[in-house]
Structure 1
Amino acid sequence: MFRPSLHLQRHQFVVDFVKRNKPKQVVDLGCGECSLLQKLKFHSEIELLVGVDLNGAKLSKKKHVLAPVSTDYLQPTFKQLCVQLYHGSVTQRDVRLRGFDLVTSIELIEHLPLDDLDQFSEVVFGYMAPQTVIISTPNSEFNLLFPGLSGFRHGDHKFEWTRVEFQSWALKACSEYGFKVEFTGVGEPPPGQEERFGFCTQIGVFHRLLDRDRHKSGDDVDNHFSYTLLYSIKYPSLRDHNILRKAVVSEVLYWAEKLKQEWLEELTEKREEENPVEDCVREREEHGGIFWTKGDEHECHMSHRHVSVPLHKLWTGCPKLSELTESLHNLAQLIIDDPQIKLNQDQSAVIICFLEEDLEDDGPNDLMDSGYVEANNMEKELWKTDG
């Protein structure tokens, strides 16, 4: 009857709420197949994403959908995300779930015995005391539109409420625990039948009125650990110093090699134009261009030659490096102790060594005996970068 399906519409409702309100800590009660969690993990504003379900075997089977993929490791971002799955009942307290920004309960309460609803309200609204709660449940008035349906929509449902019944329960919870509620839903009825049937799925969005530090309920001093942690994973993040350093080193090595190759290509072009090699070196020296030297074999075992690429050129020429490090000083500090990178004496440039075969064999080879040629800056025209 619905396109997209009612299941997807319910999840999209939560996703849209997350986009607008940007909660950092979210828990989905009765997470089941983890499909809602799988959608929410892509939202960078969320730092802690938790699922709770009574079916531990299902959680263990589905946890893989929440694991980082290869691109999360190869291209980490500043996003910081921890995902956790707990085996437990929503009628039990657990101190680890207190004070979240958002609690979702999508098509859950109708699976609880009516006698457990008061305990559910006390745990979710009272003990957990989140900023916002989103609860969805079937609207029994809509059932008349389902051909051949008798009884409840699902064999495990213990009840299905009318709009009045749901609103009565929701307003009672608000009164007891200091919330206000907005009623809405997904799954629209046929045109002109909105007032008679309402939404197929009715939704209550509860907002807490009291400051969480002032709101107390029951024996809050007791730390309850009722749930069993089945899965916990932290996504790779550039906020981790080691991961950030690896990303910066990778970029430095790539761009330094790229700039070295560009310089060698221009040097080869000079030779093809039959210009003396020493003129090429002198030209770069006079224009403050890249310098290159006859290196010390104790400093570079690959060759007696190396190219020195100033850090400031790497930082300004590679947008990603400037984004990752924020300053030239930070760039130097991140790479200074890395064994893959060799810096000059004052740590202002990266030294790139190369083999003899990097140079063309044709033409004069005066560069081998040109001695030490130094300049402070690289000629702008010689280094054409994406930045």
Structure 2
Amino acid sequence: MDVGCADCSLLSKLKFHRHCVELLAGVDIDCAAIRQRMHALAPLTCDYLQPASRPLTIELYQGSVTEREPCTRGFDLVTCIELIEHLEPWEVERFSDVVFGYMAPRAVIVSTPNAEFNTLLPGLTGFRHKDHKFEWSRAEFNTWALGICWRYGYTVDFTGVGEAQDSSVGFCSQIGVFQRHPELNVPVNNTPVEATVYRLLYKVVYPSLQDNNIFHRTLVSEVIYRAECLRRAWEEEEEEEEGVAGQTVYRCGRSVHVPLLRVWACPRVQALCADLHHLQEVLLGDSRVQLDANGGAVVLPGDEQEGEEEEEEDCGREEFAMRPAKCNIEEDWDAEIG
């Protein structure tokens, strides 16, 4: 969960890490900032053509990070990027209790401007942004972070944004990476909480192979594609040398039969379905692919049949074009000119 997600720029990058993320959530008090870019989080065409093996859900909420919300509990990671400096000092204490005490994620990443770096920013007087309520020095940030660790059972590592100029100035923005200590007892807050205080603005579920319908459609499409590739490769070899030894594709009448074992041997098909018997069961129950009587080969229409149909259509068009046009309307040129 990204608290203070604003225009969702961080979530837009994290959505591409499908191998390790199953739920992304963002919350911000400014719903206009979320709505400006929230549709950029929608799935792309490639997400439907090649669904990932893991599911991904993205949820965006309007709400304050100083309020307890049940849906914010249970996250592995909470990020707070350049947010706390926008809070009033009394709100920082409330924010700390909500994030570290109530939400209690396994890890928290907090970044905030480093006030000591401001001397290197030309023309800057005061804070970096008009909405900043404060900007901490490194000592002030360290004091707050270590207090969090002592109170809520976390450890922290300090780093920063960009490259540190020197020991007297430090990073442009300072970062604290908090890890909940597994051996420490985290305080449990039993205060009654309202059912819902956040407002859901946007939710999208990405297609994944864990959905049976999507899995079957993807598998069948891949089988048809691989069968066509094998058929084309065989036809090219047949043109070069008639009667290729050990051919794995054969013609039966006007149809082309591609052994299912050869299709299943393709790495992409095996990645989708590791069992040949299961693959056969899926294909037998789908009308988009035809198997032979034994269920051991994929039957594809031959090019000869398609060519004959096209030839018949062409002949029909030529015959129609050669017929004299009959017209019962008598033209009166004199009347037309007049």
TM-score using structure 1 length? 0.73
1:102 maps to 77
1:342 maps to 290
Q: Give 1:225's aligned amino acid.
A: T
Paired residue total: 307
Report deviation, 1:179. 0.9
Q: Aligned to 1:83, what secondary structure does the other structure show?
A: strand
Report deviation, 1:113. 0.6
Counterpart-to-counterpart distance in 2, 1:330 and 1:81: 26
Q: Aligned to 1:156, what secondary structure does the other structure show?
A: coil
Note if contact 1:268-1:359 (Cα within 8 Å) is conserved in structure 2: no
Cα deviation code 1:93-136 (max 9, x no counterpart):
11111121111101000000111111101100000000011111
Counterpart-to-counterpart distance in 2, 1:288 and 1:163: 72
Q: Aligned to 2:168, what secondary structure does the other structure show?
A: helix
Report deviation, 1:307. 2.7
1:156 maps to 131
Identity %: 49
Q: Aligned to 1:119, what secondary structure does the other structure show?
A: helix
2:315 maps to none
Q: 1:36 aligns with which of 3, 7, 10?
A: 10
| Residue pairs, 1:107-256, within 5 angstroms | 107-190=82-165, 194-210=166-182, 215-219=186-190, 222=193, 224-256=195-227
More displaced stretch, 247-256 vs 27-36: 247-256
Q: Give 1:313's aligned amino acid.
A: R
More displaced stretch, 342-351 vs 97-106: 342-351
CA RMSD of aligned residues (A): 2.5
Cα deviation code 1:321-340 (max 9, x no counterpart):
11111121222122221111
Q: Aligned to 2:257, what secondary structure does the other structure show?
A: strand
Counterpart-to-counterpart distance in 2, 1:357 and 1:292: 12
Counterpart-to-counterpart distance in 1, 2:66 and 2:152: 16
Does 2:329 match 1:354? Answer: no
Counterpart-to-counterpart distance in 1, 2:123 and 2:232: 73
- Which runs of 5 or more structure 2 residues have no equivalent in the other structure? 309-338
Q: Which runs of 4+ in 1 moved over 6 A?
A: none
Q: Aligned to 1:126, what secondary structure does the other structure show?
A: helix
Counterpart-to-counterpart distance in 2, 1:268 and 1:161: 76
- Which runs of 5 or more structure 1 residues have no equivalent in the other structure? 1-26, 274-279, 295-304, 361-387
TM-score using structure 2 length? 0.83
Q: 2:63 aligns with which of 88, 113, 137?
A: 88
Counterpart-to-counterpart distance in 1, 2:126 and 2:249: 81
Note if contact 1:127-1:220 (Cα within 8 Å) is conserved in structure 2: no
Counterpart-to-counterpart distance in 2, 1:220 and 1:306: 71
1:314 maps to 263
Note if contact 2:83-2:112 (Cα within 8 Å) is conserved in structure 1: yes
